[in-house]
Amino acid sequence: MRRQLKISALLFILLLSTACGTKETVPGPTTDDGTRFVLKAKDLSAGTYHIRHAEIFGRNLNGYNLAILQGIDKVQATADSGGGYFAGVSAVPPESPVGYPVQLLGRPLLKPARKTSYCSGSSYAAFVEGMDLILKNHKLDLDSAHYEALRMQEADGGRREDHVKFWGWWNADGFGNDFALVQYAKIGQRVKPIQARPGDFMNISWKKGGGHSVVFLGWYLSPDSIKNVVYWSSQKSTNGFGDAVVPVNRIKEVLVVRLTHPEHLFNFDIQAQPKDTTRGDTIHWQL
């Protein structure tokens, strides 16, 4: 325990000293004023496929979420037109969460079998790329156990099953971002939908169908007064990576998680067992 506290304190000092005063890695969690982050039509003008998320949605944004938006741009840059969407647990070759070799601090987490992606893989890749930017100047290294827990596949290239370590909880059905970031690793904190800011991680539970793992970009009221949520993820409608604008009346519940403690990446309890009975929040948006 004493070693863990020492690592956390040292890493926080390193993050503060390397990030302070730079737009790229502002130290500390992103803050909000408790009001809804509503986008304007011009904020959607870049279209579905672009690498301007940090520029467009990061305006006036503080804290770690800016690094997540930059992480999105790094992921999107690997597939200009989405890269293709595919989810098939029993497929041969196996499904790939994302279609490029994801690395954290120079260490590989995935050797993809396909060039396609699916939703939880895309949000996880944005998380990894964002963490890589936040931690790029630190002087600590992941031990072998924590590195292995973050891998997106087994050492032999096989599928890492749901509920197995960090990625297995992130990829699990339901509110995986909460399972992995909040309960398992204590790297993130749950916030209400009205508090959501670009770069927060959002799990969506649809009224019809299953769920979706995305990175939140904002709320948008269309000219015909339809309320929408705007997010980045991998989905069929965008043929893989891309921005989506979806009416909130299609959504049953959401659960929003914000990155708050990146230093816990080095000392979380690998044997932790999240409870997968978590309930989401209903979106209440009054005009």
Q: What is the pTM of this model?
A: 0.91
How does pLDDT run across 45-57, given as a tens digit for each residue?
999 999 999 999 9
**Residue 167 near residue 150 (C-beta atoms within 8 A):** yes
C-alpha 27: how far from chain center: 18
Interatomic CA distance for residues 97 and 109, integer angstroms: 11
The strand pairing partners of 230, in sequence order, are: 218, 245
Segment (H or E) for 57: helix 53-57
How does pLDDT run across 138-183, given as a tens digit for each residue?
777 899 999 999 999 988 888 888 899 999 999 999 999 999 999 9
**Residue 231 near residue 244 (C-beta atoms within 8 A):** yes
Segment (H or E) for 283: none
Q: Name the DSSP class of 117.
A: B
Query: Which pLDDT score is estimated for 9?
Result: 44
Interatomic CA distance for residues 273 and 180, integer angstroms: 10
Query: Which pLDDT score is estimated for 246?
Result: 98
Query: Which pLDDT score is estimated for 287?
Result: 65
Query: Which pLDDT score is estimated for 79?
Result: 96
Interatomic CA distance for residues 174 and 188, integer angstroms: 17
Nearest to 213 by CA among 120, 281, 276: 120
Please give the chain's pLDDT, 287 residues, in tens.
444 444 444 444 444 444 433 344 457 999 999 999 999 999 999 999 999 999 999 988 999 999 999 999 999 999 989 999 999 888 888 899 999 999 999 999 999 999 999 999 999 999 999 999 999 877 778 999 999 999 999 888 888 888 999 999 999 999 999 999 999 999 999 999 999 999 999 999 999 989 999 999 999 999 999 999 999 999 999 999 999 999 999 999 999 999 999 999 999 999 999 998 899 999 999 86
Helices (H) and strands (E) in the chain, counts: 7, 9
Give CA angle at 56 (53, 60), nearest 5°. Answer: 115
